Amino acid sequence: MSKFYITTPIYYVNARPHIGHAYTTLAADVVSRWRKSKGDDVFFLTGTDEHGAKVAEAAKAAGKEPQEFVDSVALEFKDAWKHLGIEYSDFIRTTESRHQKGVVAFLEKLKDAGALCEGEYAGLYCTGCESFKTEKELVDGKCPDHNRAPEKVTEKNWFFKLSDYLKKVESLIENDAIRIRPESAKKEALGLIKQKLEDFSVSRENVKWGIPLPWDAHQTVYVWVEALQNYITALGYPKLDAYWPADVHLIGKDILKFHAIYWPAMLLAAGLPTPKEIFVHGYFTIDGKKMGKSLGNVIDPNELVAGYGQDAARYLLLSQFPFGTDGDVKAEKFVEQYNAFLVNGLGNLAARAAALIENHFNGTILFGEEQLDRAEYDRLMGEFKFDEVLKFLQAKLGELDKRMEEEKPWELVKKDKARAEQVLAGVAGGIVAIARELSPFLPSASEKIIAQFTAGSIAKGEPLFPRK
Ligand code: MSP
């Protein structure tokens, strides 16, 4: 049994969760369920990023105290994950004392290691990104992700001496000691290093909603710096258990620089091992634009679950496009996709086969489970190619359907019952095998199908997916 530590980004609680957040979390859940099914000791961490100017602004706009506000939004994230059937091992909130204690210890460690110095920052800051910006990153003077002009700030900060660690980070990425996938993201990270990144602030002067810097009460820890540390504070830093280093940090492409460069550099300075892998996925876009509160184009995952059910919502989110690339979501296509794969495909085939077995064989048939290509399945899952796994299983369902149409067991029973039984046994064996491989994606439907065909007498039962 090997340990497997997988994380999602911790999400800002400035607004309710949308399907962009759900996408990463769901992917981590699917991978974690798959690794568990292989017998691994999995630790799956998610959580919420609750400090900083962006969250404080949102609390003010809602007319609430920051703590009261973050408590309510964090609950919305937990609820959304419950509706989607996300089985995380731990949910870390950065306002928890276990996080704050760990952050203080980590910052002190960085200071003792000589990795910090005092300085002044004069430049641009986008509160939407919670990030310092250069002119080059703007489009028409605005942050392209948040469609707003960054503020000009001048402040005294403590800085992390990134330049001391860049060479080492570069070589770790180059030789895949920190593996960055897909390849395009690895290139992008190496490109960022080549452009020569500046030392970055670890504290902010005028942001009250944050963790006070242990040795300078006028400063709070820069929200990104403390956020990254969630991956170790959740494990109990300054003590660390056997789960560290992370086997994979799953992130969206917007936060690559923080994870691929800043985070490993800080870990090196603190004398800790660096993450083994960073897997970067694309955005859900709506009409070509990244989904987000500031652009006002969000889709609520709860609505998907309410409209289609938990399993179907999971399927619809993960089947849209390859995980590593961007994809435009067309909500009007959801019904079509739902009916095609879940109603007419899986649901219909399982119901037809079960009904025939119930009606003509008293619900009992002997069958062996078909052996699908497990190595190929594991390879695709290991590469986060969820859309390909789903397509492969859809093709398998298509083959079984074809076998039914060609052999017509409902007619065969009248002429050659033994042959009809053989056909249905083959189909049942195929359905169970497909359900097992679908199980990380559709946990409850798969469980129902497996129980329907393997526990006691086989019967048609209720439709798994009602037609829309
Ligand atoms: N709080 C930081 C992350 C700190 S991690 C130490 C943050 N939060 S966020 O709420 O903005 O969420 C960022 C993550 O949500 C992205 O990296 C991505 O994983 C996911 N998504 C947010 N919008 C998305 C899309 N439109 N499409 C796909 N995923 C996106 O950044």
The answer, yes or no, to whether any atom of ligand 1 lies below 6 A from the CB of 262, is: no
> Residue 372 has what pLDDT?
86
Neighbours of 10 (CB within 10 A): 23
**Distance of CA 356 from the midpoint of ligand 1 (Å):** 47
CA 81 / ligand 1 centre spacing (Å): 15
Beta carbon of 346 within 6 Å of any ligand 1 atom: no
Q: Is 290 a catalytic residue?
A: yes
Question: Is 218 labeled as catalytic in the residue annotation?
Answer: no
Substitution candidate for ligand 1 out of 16, 18, 24 with most atoms within 8 A of CB:
24
**What is this structure's pTM?**
0.96
Is residue 51 lining ligand 1, measured as CB closer than 6 Å?
Answer: no
| Residue 23 Cβ < 6 Å to ligand 1 | yes
pLDDT number for residue 434: 97
Ligand 1 within 6 A of 9 CB?
yes
- What confidence score (pLDDT) does residue 400 get? 96
Nearest atom in ligand 1 to 285's CA: 26
- Interhelix angle 19-37/374-382, rounded to 10 degrees, is 140
pLDDT for res 427? 97
Q: Is the CB of 50 under 6 A from ligand 1?
A: no
Q: Which residues of the chain have pLDDT under 50?
A: none
- pLDDT of the residue at 2: 94
What does the pLDDT read at residue 288?
Answer: 77
Q: What is the pLDDT of residue 286?
A: 79
| 249 labelled catalytic | no
Known catalytic residue: 129? yes
pLDDT for position 290: 74
> How far apart (Å, rounded) are the C-alpha atoms in residues 327 and 339?
21
Q: What is the pLDDT of residue 15?
A: 93
> Cα of 127 to ligand 1 centre, how many Å?
15
